[in-house]
Amino acid sequence: MSTALAVEGVSVAFGGVRALADVTFEVPEGQVCGVIGPNGAGKTTLFDVISGLRRPGAGRVRVAGEDVTHVSAVRRARAGLRRTFQRTQVFGRLTVAGNVLAAMEWRGGGGGLLADLAGLPGRRALERRRGERVDEVLALCGLDGLRDAYAAALPVGARRLVELARALADRPYALLLDEPTSGLDAAQTARLREVIAGLDTTVLLVEHDMGFVMDVCDRIVVLDLGRVIASGTPAEVRADPAVRAAYLGTG
Protein backbone atom coordinates (compact mmCIF):
# COMPACT_ATOMS: atom_id res chain seq x y z
CA MET A 1 0.00 0.00 0.00
CA SER A 2 1.52 3.36 -0.86
CA THR A 3 1.62 6.28 1.51
CA ALA A 4 -0.82 9.12 0.84
CA LEU A 5 0.26 11.51 3.57
CA ALA A 6 3.52 11.55 5.47
CA VAL A 7 4.49 13.89 8.27
CA GLU A 8 8.20 13.62 9.03
CA GLY A 9 9.81 15.19 12.09
CA VAL A 10 7.55 18.23 12.03
CA SER A 11 8.10 20.88 14.69
CA VAL A 12 6.35 24.22 15.15
CA ALA A 13 7.04 26.70 17.94
CA PHE A 14 5.08 29.82 18.86
CA GLY A 15 7.56 31.81 20.93
CA GLY A 16 8.27 29.50 23.84
CA VAL A 17 5.33 27.19 23.14
CA ARG A 18 6.16 23.97 21.30
CA ALA A 19 2.92 23.41 19.43
CA LEU A 20 4.39 20.42 17.55
CA ALA A 21 7.58 18.60 18.52
CA ASP A 22 9.11 16.14 16.07
CA VAL A 23 5.79 14.74 14.89
CA THR A 24 6.08 11.76 12.55
CA PHE A 25 3.38 9.50 11.14
CA GLU A 26 2.01 8.20 7.85
CA VAL A 27 -1.41 7.59 6.39
CA PRO A 28 -1.57 4.80 3.78
CA GLU A 29 -3.69 5.46 0.68
CA GLY A 30 -7.40 4.91 1.21
CA GLN A 31 -7.22 4.74 5.00
CA VAL A 32 -9.07 6.87 7.53
CA CYS A 33 -6.75 8.21 10.22
CA GLY A 34 -7.90 10.10 13.29
CA VAL A 35 -5.88 12.66 15.22
CA ILE A 36 -6.94 13.03 18.82
CA GLY A 37 -5.56 14.78 21.87
CA PRO A 38 -6.57 17.17 24.63
CA ASN A 39 -7.09 20.89 24.00
CA GLY A 40 -3.89 22.56 22.94
CA ALA A 41 -2.29 19.26 21.88
CA GLY A 42 -1.41 20.71 18.47
CA LYS A 43 -4.13 19.22 16.26
CA THR A 44 -5.07 22.45 14.49
CA THR A 45 -1.44 23.40 14.04
CA LEU A 46 -0.80 19.98 12.48
CA PHE A 47 -3.66 20.49 10.01
CA ASP A 48 -2.33 23.96 9.19
CA VAL A 49 1.09 22.45 8.42
CA ILE A 50 -0.30 19.62 6.28
CA SER A 51 -2.64 21.88 4.32
CA GLY A 52 0.10 24.48 3.81
CA LEU A 53 -1.27 27.35 5.91
CA ARG A 54 1.75 27.19 8.19
CA ARG A 55 5.38 26.37 7.45
CA PRO A 56 6.94 24.08 10.05
CA GLY A 57 10.12 25.19 11.81
CA ALA A 58 11.52 21.76 11.00
CA GLY A 59 10.44 18.63 9.19
CA ARG A 60 8.65 17.69 6.02
CA VAL A 61 5.20 16.95 4.65
CA ARG A 62 4.75 14.55 1.74
CA VAL A 63 1.62 14.01 -0.31
CA ALA A 64 1.68 10.92 -2.52
CA GLY A 65 5.42 10.76 -1.95
CA GLU A 66 6.05 14.35 -3.12
CA ASP A 67 7.69 16.74 -0.69
CA VAL A 68 5.18 19.62 -0.48
CA THR A 69 6.67 21.38 2.56
CA HIS A 70 7.33 24.49 0.49
CA VAL A 71 4.29 24.26 -1.78
CA SER A 72 1.52 26.83 -1.15
CA ALA A 73 -1.85 25.87 0.33
CA VAL A 74 -3.60 26.75 -2.92
CA ARG A 75 -1.33 24.52 -4.99
CA ARG A 76 -1.79 21.68 -2.50
CA ALA A 77 -5.55 22.10 -2.79
CA ARG A 78 -5.36 22.12 -6.58
CA ALA A 79 -3.35 18.93 -6.40
CA GLY A 80 -6.26 17.30 -4.56
CA LEU A 81 -5.58 17.90 -0.87
CA ARG A 82 -8.84 19.24 0.56
CA ARG A 83 -9.64 20.55 4.00
CA THR A 84 -12.76 21.44 5.90
CA PHE A 85 -12.58 23.82 8.82
CA GLN A 86 -13.90 23.90 12.39
CA ARG A 87 -15.82 27.01 11.40
CA THR A 88 -17.74 26.22 8.24
CA GLN A 89 -16.76 28.03 5.09
CA VAL A 90 -19.58 27.99 2.58
CA PHE A 91 -20.91 30.65 0.21
CA GLY A 92 -24.01 31.89 2.03
CA ARG A 93 -25.45 33.64 -1.02
CA LEU A 94 -25.30 30.52 -3.16
CA THR A 95 -27.69 27.62 -3.01
CA VAL A 96 -26.48 24.27 -1.76
CA ALA A 97 -26.14 23.02 -5.34
CA GLY A 98 -24.41 26.28 -6.31
CA ASN A 99 -21.88 25.78 -3.54
CA VAL A 100 -20.96 22.33 -4.80
CA LEU A 101 -20.80 23.49 -8.40
CA ALA A 102 -18.53 26.39 -7.44
CA ALA A 103 -16.19 23.93 -5.76
CA MET A 104 -15.83 22.10 -9.06
CA GLU A 105 -15.37 25.22 -11.13
CA TRP A 106 -12.66 26.93 -9.14
CA ARG A 107 -10.04 24.60 -10.56
CA GLY A 108 -10.85 26.02 -13.99
CA GLY A 109 -10.86 23.91 -17.11
CA GLY A 110 -14.25 25.27 -18.14
CA GLY A 111 -12.88 26.99 -21.23
CA GLY A 112 -13.58 30.55 -20.04
CA LEU A 113 -15.61 33.30 -21.67
CA LEU A 114 -14.82 32.44 -25.27
CA ALA A 115 -15.98 28.90 -24.81
CA ASP A 116 -19.11 30.23 -23.08
CA LEU A 117 -19.90 32.47 -26.04
CA ALA A 118 -19.22 29.80 -28.58
CA GLY A 119 -21.31 27.32 -26.60
CA LEU A 120 -18.85 24.63 -27.51
CA PRO A 121 -20.24 21.11 -27.37
CA GLY A 122 -17.36 20.13 -25.15
CA ARG A 123 -18.39 22.72 -22.67
CA ARG A 124 -21.99 21.58 -22.68
CA ALA A 125 -20.89 18.02 -22.03
CA LEU A 126 -18.69 19.26 -19.22
CA GLU A 127 -21.59 21.16 -17.68
CA ARG A 128 -23.82 18.11 -17.90
CA ARG A 129 -21.18 15.99 -16.19
CA ARG A 130 -20.77 18.58 -13.48
CA GLY A 131 -24.52 18.73 -12.94
CA GLU A 132 -24.60 14.97 -12.55
CA ARG A 133 -21.74 15.07 -10.11
CA VAL A 134 -23.51 17.75 -8.04
CA ASP A 135 -26.58 15.51 -7.80
CA GLU A 136 -24.42 12.52 -6.90
CA VAL A 137 -22.54 14.34 -4.14
CA LEU A 138 -25.70 15.90 -2.71
CA ALA A 139 -27.34 12.48 -2.54
CA LEU A 140 -24.24 11.01 -0.93
CA CYS A 141 -24.26 13.68 1.78
CA GLY A 142 -28.02 13.48 2.34
CA LEU A 143 -28.56 16.98 0.98
CA ASP A 144 -30.79 16.27 -2.02
CA GLY A 145 -33.79 17.80 -0.24
CA LEU A 146 -31.86 21.03 0.33
CA ARG A 147 -30.53 21.43 -3.23
CA ASP A 148 -32.06 24.88 -3.80
CA ALA A 149 -31.82 26.23 -0.25
CA TYR A 150 -29.49 29.15 0.34
CA ALA A 151 -26.52 28.05 2.38
CA ALA A 152 -26.76 31.10 4.68
CA ALA A 153 -30.21 29.99 5.83
CA LEU A 154 -29.12 26.51 6.87
CA PRO A 155 -28.47 25.31 10.40
CA VAL A 156 -24.86 24.59 11.22
CA GLY A 157 -25.14 20.81 10.79
CA ALA A 158 -26.42 21.10 7.24
CA ARG A 159 -23.79 23.73 6.44
CA ARG A 160 -21.13 21.32 7.60
CA LEU A 161 -22.46 18.68 5.22
CA VAL A 162 -22.43 21.26 2.41
CA GLU A 163 -18.79 21.87 3.18
CA LEU A 164 -18.15 18.15 3.01
CA ALA A 165 -20.02 17.94 -0.30
CA ARG A 166 -17.87 20.78 -1.65
CA ALA A 167 -14.71 19.01 -0.53
CA LEU A 168 -15.81 15.76 -2.18
CA ALA A 169 -17.10 17.32 -5.39
CA ASP A 170 -14.07 16.87 -7.59
CA ARG A 171 -12.91 13.62 -6.06
CA PRO A 172 -10.01 14.80 -3.90
CA TYR A 173 -6.88 12.74 -3.43
CA ALA A 174 -6.97 13.27 0.35
CA LEU A 175 -9.36 14.95 2.75
CA LEU A 176 -8.53 16.72 6.00
CA LEU A 177 -11.64 17.04 8.15
CA ASP A 178 -11.49 19.36 11.15
CA GLU A 179 -14.09 18.40 13.78
CA PRO A 180 -16.52 17.10 11.15
CA THR A 181 -19.27 16.05 13.62
CA SER A 182 -19.47 19.32 15.50
CA GLY A 183 -22.96 20.78 15.08
CA LEU A 184 -24.35 17.61 13.50
CA ASP A 185 -27.41 15.90 14.95
CA ALA A 186 -27.50 12.12 15.45
CA ALA A 187 -28.93 11.41 11.98
CA GLN A 188 -26.37 13.65 10.28
CA THR A 189 -23.55 12.07 12.27
CA ALA A 190 -24.72 8.63 11.18
CA ARG A 191 -24.81 9.86 7.58
CA LEU A 192 -21.31 11.29 7.89
CA ARG A 193 -20.09 7.96 9.25
CA GLU A 194 -21.54 6.22 6.21
CA VAL A 195 -20.09 8.76 3.81
CA ILE A 196 -16.61 8.36 5.28
CA ALA A 197 -16.86 4.58 5.36
CA GLY A 198 -17.88 4.56 1.70
CA LEU A 199 -15.02 6.75 0.45
CA ASP A 200 -11.92 5.37 -1.15
CA THR A 201 -10.22 8.72 -0.56
CA THR A 202 -7.58 8.99 2.14
CA VAL A 203 -8.98 10.84 5.16
CA LEU A 204 -7.27 12.49 8.10
CA LEU A 205 -9.67 13.82 10.71
CA VAL A 206 -9.51 15.69 13.98
CA GLU A 207 -12.47 14.90 16.16
CA HIS A 208 -13.52 15.15 19.78
CA ASP A 209 -16.32 12.59 19.55
CA MET A 210 -14.45 9.48 20.69
CA GLY A 211 -17.17 7.03 19.70
CA PHE A 212 -17.11 8.41 16.17
CA VAL A 213 -13.29 8.31 15.96
CA MET A 214 -13.13 4.73 17.22
CA ASP A 215 -15.83 3.74 14.75
CA VAL A 216 -14.64 5.30 11.50
CA CYS A 217 -10.85 5.28 11.80
CA ASP A 218 -8.47 2.56 10.63
CA ARG A 219 -5.70 4.14 12.67
CA ILE A 220 -5.41 6.85 15.29
CA VAL A 221 -2.56 9.19 16.17
CA VAL A 222 -2.62 10.63 19.68
CA LEU A 223 -1.02 13.99 20.34
CA ASP A 224 -0.30 15.49 23.72
CA LEU A 225 1.54 18.78 24.18
CA GLY A 226 2.73 18.65 20.59
CA ARG A 227 4.12 15.11 20.71
CA VAL A 228 2.85 11.84 19.33
CA ILE A 229 2.32 9.75 22.46
CA ALA A 230 0.68 6.80 20.73
CA SER A 231 -0.54 5.55 17.38
CA GLY A 232 -2.21 2.39 16.18
CA THR A 233 -5.57 0.81 15.63
CA PRO A 234 -8.51 2.09 17.69
CA ALA A 235 -8.23 -0.95 19.96
CA GLU A 236 -4.49 -0.44 20.50
CA VAL A 237 -4.94 3.25 21.24
CA ARG A 238 -7.84 2.64 23.59
CA ALA A 239 -5.75 0.17 25.58
CA ASP A 240 -2.61 2.33 25.70
CA PRO A 241 -1.83 3.42 29.29
CA ALA A 242 -0.15 6.67 28.15
CA VAL A 243 -3.28 7.61 26.23
CA ARG A 244 -5.53 6.81 29.15
CA ALA A 245 -3.37 8.92 31.43
CA ALA A 246 -2.98 11.91 29.12
CA TYR A 247 -6.23 11.96 27.33
CA LEU A 248 -8.86 10.19 29.30
CA GLY A 249 -7.36 11.05 32.69
CA THR A 250 -7.78 7.44 33.79
CA GLY A 251 -4.19 6.28 33.91
Ligand X SMILES: Nc1ncnc2c1ncn2[C@@H]1O[C@H](COP(=O)(O)OP(=O)(O)OP(=O)(O)O)[C@@H](O)[C@H]1O
Residues that bind ligand X (CB under 6 A): 14, 17, 19, 37, 39-45
CB of residue 14 to ligand X, shortest distance in Å: 3
Closer Cβ to ligand X, 141 or 222, answer by number: 222
**Smallest gap from residue 143 Cβ to ligand X (A):** 27
Q: Tell me how far, at minimum, the Cβ of 103 lies from ligand X, in Å.
A: 25
Q: Is 105 exposed, middle or buried (0-12, 13-18, 19+ CB in 10 A)?
A: middle
Q: How far is the CB of 149 from ligand X (least distance, A)?
A: 30
Indicate if the alpha-carbon torsion angle 165, 167, 169, 174 is positive or negative. Answer: negative
Q: How far is residue 180's CA from residue 86's CA, in Å, rounded to a whole number?
A: 7
Tell which residue, 105, 44, 49, has the closest CA to residue 76. 49
Rank residues 151 and 177 by Cβ distance to ligand X and give the closer one: 177
CA 144 vs CA 6, 137, 147, 161, 182: distances in Å: 35, 9, 5, 11, 21
